[in-house]
Chain A
Amino acid sequence: MKLRPIPSYLASMMRILLFAGLLFYSSAAVAQDSLWVVTEAWFQGEDSLMGTRFELTPEWTGHNAVIDRAEDQISSIVLINTDTVDHVFSTNAPETEDTILEAGTSTNVALPAMPQGSFRYFLSDERGKVLGGSGMIRTGWTDETLFYWNLSDWDPIRTLDAAAGIPIDFDAPYVPRFFTVNEESYPSTADDPNALVAVSLGDTSFIAIANHGFMDHVLHFHGFHVIMVSSTGYPERVGWNKDTVPIRRGESLTVRLIAYQEGMYPVHNHNLIAVTNAGFYPGGMITTIHVMP
């Protein structure tokens, strides 16, 4: 069966009703975040794609939200699925269970106690995954300078098919055309204050990094080594001092950066097909560390 998109005025009304309902609900709850699952068209250069995002409001920004939680404390989150299809919510934190988010409803999801680190939350159903509904939970970070890089790779055709309800053939060759940090590709990454690490000489900062894509990624830091302080994929590497950091698909980690020299230094994927936009170099998964005097 093909799913038909609901008319936009109905979708808007649905969001307003859900929003009003949530306001009532929130007044009874304590310190509870809420995220809206929103699907819209988005663009990379001249390519049009479809996307699903976890947004902080019902409005589409195109960017998946990053939420912060205390270390080792259970919490919860309200998820409002404004889509016309059900989704499945998952995380890569230990001891979480999948939760179904029914279309057009809000669901209160329990989040387990998590150690200090960076974790992924995401839609694990086929459509939600291909459309990129995938953000980050940072746990246990207080007062530090925190940046985040949500990494992903995109095949526009797959996103259009998934949004149209066409089953994706995952055995077919995957040829992603876009590679993003926080859903932006270079040079737009320079406009994102979380992707661009702008710090002062001597600062210590932390960068939460998650790979939401279908590929393994590996980031190379020019000018600096960074210390691994958390890792879901390579927990045995905590404490390693690296300039080239692999983040396998589905994994997340945190690194500590000490800005010990001034200047502009790129950070980029060292799988060099991923530093392109639609085949053009430079582009894709490149951002910058800018250390000011």
Chain B
Amino acid sequence: MKHIIAIFLCCVSWSLAAQQQPPQLFSGMDGIHFLPDGTALTIWGYGWVAEGFISLPGPLLEYTLDEEVALNFTNPSPESHTIHLHGLDVDQVNDGVPTTSFYIPMGGSMVYEFTADYPGTFLYHCHVTTTLHLTMGMYGMILVNRPDMTLFEGGPGYDANVPLLFSDLEIATNLDPVGSFPFHDIRPDVFMVNGHSDDQLEQAVNIVSYEPGQTLALRLGSMAYSRVLCSFPPELNAVCHMSDGRPLPETFEVEELDIFPGERFTVLITPDAGWDGTIDCAFWNMIDHQEEDVQSIRVRDAALSVDEFASRAMKGYPNPTRDVITYPSARDIVVWDAWGREVFRGDLPDGQLRVSDWPVGVYMVRSGDGPVGRFEVAD
């Protein structure tokens, strides 16, 4: 009898282990996003469980062509969410539409299963009350790559992927999502590339850097409510090869490219040596056809890059911490908690921020008007 129980328990634990890989991705509704002027906004979104915070946009999901994907998703947030795998043409069960497939209630976890059977650029987003959940930040990009670094079978090769996800938001909605009704008058007033705007795009980490002769695959996708019109200077030698995860019948040299909400394009660039310029991206309102904003993606020969360290996100150590986190820059420090509340302001005479009595969680930190960093206070 003992043997039978042991075998039974082994089988149960094996099958549970097979079905219940640790959740990789989680959703949250208590994230924080900083605008270039320092304004803190609440965001909803996705994050890696291992990192413990959500980001705008959500993490880049990368798969290898023909990979059998089991994306384990957990939702500790107070509302139901899903993941719609936009453009991957998954079956109905895994489509992420709450009325035709499953949804993940508060406290639930589910696995999305699909085969990454086409190489290219795709998107993911929540499909629950989509108009609101998406503008609050619940989206990200998916890349399906070929191991030989060609765009598709028989297609051109490239040296590196550059994911560029366009999106926008309306500040008033993010400040008061419950009061955002009616949804049809959402009118975005912040326009972003990979979650960054204006001078944030000038930070070294956001500059597209290349070595002369390198070919970069720009993975352009939009989760905006606007039409995005991108202008490619001739020095980039930009050629469009793919749209919506499929090769084009004929490639074309790109000067201007309209990207509508939900669309994707893959553009290969081989910039001239020594070039330093921008891809200007105009955001056009889809209702009354007004140009709302222009965001510029900086592309620069790596030889021209200087002083990158100073402009990178503020990093302290150890991170996560329980007692003390040490920063190289100790003047004019401001710290916010995950709800955007200021919890510390001042100088750190010895460079050390003492957090032993702070609640466990994710915090944002900034020195002066420098870029924002994150740290976690752990158990």
Contacts and interface: CB of A to CB of B under 8 A. Distances in A.
Interface of A: 173-177, 215-216, 218, 220, 222-225, 236, 239-244, 246, 261-266, 270-276, 278-282
Interface string B299-343: 000000000000000000000000000000000000000000000
Given A261-B91, A272-B225, A215 B287 contact: yes
Contacts, number: 124
Contacts of A174: 287-288
B100 A263 contact: yes
Contacts of B42: none
A177 B261 CA distance: 19
Interface of B: 84, 86-87, 89-92, 95, 97, 100, 129-132, 134-135, 181-186, 225, 227, 243-246, 248-250, 252, 258, 260-264, 286-289
A283 B234 CA distance: 43
21 contacts: A215-B287, A220-B262, A222-B97, A223-B89, A223-B90, A225-B89, A243-B245, A244-B261, A244-B262, A263-B91, A263-B92, A266-B97, A271-B260, A272-B134, A273-B186, A273-B225, A273-B286, A275-B130, A276-B131, A281-B132, A282-B130
> Which of A177, A223, A266, A272 gathers most chain B CB within 10 Å?
A272
Given A244-B263, A275-B131, A279-B181, A176 B89 contact: no
Contacts of B186: 273
A271 B167 CA distance: 12
A225 B185 contact: no
A241 to B, nearest CB: 4
B227 A216 contact: yes
Contact of B263 (A218, A224, A276): A218
A273 B261 contact: no
Nearest first, the 10 A-B pairs at minimum CB distance are A279-B182, A263-B92, A270-B262, A244-B262, A241-B246, A218-B260, A239-B249, A246-B260, A270-B261, A272-B131
B95 A222 contact: yes
Contacts of A276: 131, 182-184
B183 A280 contact: yes
A236 B89 CA distance: 25
Nearest to B225: A271
Contact of A176 (B90, B184, B260, B264): B184
A215 B285 CA distance: 9
B130 A281 contact: yes
Contacts of B91: 223, 261, 263
B334 to A, nearest CB: 34
> Which of A174, A244, A261, A280 gathers most chain B CB within 10 Å?
A244
B244 A242 contact: yes
Contacts of B129: 281
A282 B98 CA distance: 11
A175 B135 CA distance: 18
A215 B89 contact: no
